[in-house]
């Protein structure tokens, strides 16, 4: 059953994506930032803390977790300009130092809230392995004609907009994303109808069909919410 997705949090997620692009952060760093953000608000109230400050803090902490060290000054400038594109760039004045100190303080708060457990196993490496294995079942022409890998990576990235990304195992998550990408490309795995086990069962035997459907429903819910917001 798909969980309810908050429209405001979806906007904050997009804000984090935009900042990540401007800061040239790796996919794993962006994913870690989203996870830190979602985990923080699993413990704390959205009404008590400013979402965008927490988002900026999560980005900064993620650069440390993933060892993609980025200056706090750059985080402050990029996040401020992304949040307020009509304003001039920050100068080294009182306002800048207040923002910098706020993020630094929020980082300590986030670490305490998460009990200094900031590691998370992302599905990225599993998905890469699964895609490589799956590609061997198709002819080279068919695999290159259908952008399964590109669609899968795009879906995986978008999935971090929602806190639903925290729930399933990384293996199940990767398989659910790939299966959804295959459906989007209208591509069927060769011999899958005659095989004793589903292709995803061969890659991870602890995965069930219900697991895949649950994850995919949550993924689709993100896109439905995004469409609803865009249509307003």
**For 20-39, how does the pLDDT look when each residue is reduced to its tens digit (9 = 90+)?**
999 999 999 999 999 999 99
Rounded to the nearest 10 degrees, what angle do helices 170-184 and 124-135 cross at? 50
Residues 103-149: tens digit of each pLDDT: 999 999 999 999 999 988 999 999 999 999 999 989 899 998 999 99
CA distance 119 to 35: 9
DSSP code for 86: T
Domain with residues 7-113, CATH architecture: Orthogonal Bundle (1.10)
- Contact by Cβ (8 Å): 55, 83: no
Q: What is the pLDDT of residues 157-208, one digit of tens each?
A: 998 988 888 877 999 999 999 999 999 999 988 887 777 788 999 899 999 9
Q: Are 74 and 40 in contact (CB under 8 A)?
A: no
Class of domain 124-231: mainly alpha
Domain residue extents for the chain: 7-113, 124-231
| Token pair belonging to 149 | 């890998």
| pLDDT for res 9 | 77
Indicate if 124-231 has the same CATH topology as 7-113: yes
- Round to whole Å and give the CA distance between 38 and 54: 10
Helix, strand, coil fractions of the chain, as percent rounded to 5? 70, 0, 30
pLDDT at 6 (0 to 100): 66
- Average pLDDT in the 72-87 region? 92
Does position 58 have pLDDT exceeding 50, yes or no? yes
């Amino acid at each position: 059953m798909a969980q309810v997705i908050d429209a405001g949090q979806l906007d904050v997620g997009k804000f984090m994506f935009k900042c990540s692009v401007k800061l040239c952060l790796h996919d794993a760093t962006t994913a870690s930032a989203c996870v830190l953000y979602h985990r923080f608000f699993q413990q704390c109230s959205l009404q008590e803390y400013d979402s965008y400050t927490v988002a900026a803090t999560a980005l900064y902490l993620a650069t440390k977790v993933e060892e993609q060290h980025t200056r706090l000054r750059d985080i402050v400038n990029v996040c401020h300009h992304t949040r307020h594109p009509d304003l001039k760039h920050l100068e080294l004045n009182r306002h800048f130092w207040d923002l910098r100190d706020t993020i630094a303080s929020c980082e300590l708060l986030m670490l305490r809230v998460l009990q200094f457990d900031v590691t998370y196993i992302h599905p990225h490496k599993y998905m890469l392995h699964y895609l490589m294995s799956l590609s061997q079942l198709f002819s080279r022409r068919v695999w290159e004609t259908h952008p399964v890998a590109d669609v899968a990576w795009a879906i995986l990235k978008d999935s971090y907009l929602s806190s639903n990304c925290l729930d399933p195992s990384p293996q199940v998550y990767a398989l659910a994303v790939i299966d959804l990408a295959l459906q989007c490309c209208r591509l069927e795995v060769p011999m899958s109808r005659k095989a004793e086990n589903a292709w995803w069962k061969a890659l991870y035997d602890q995965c069930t069909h219900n697991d895949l459907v649950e994850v995919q429903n949550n993924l689709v819910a993100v896109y439905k919410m995004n469409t609803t917001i865009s249509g307003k």
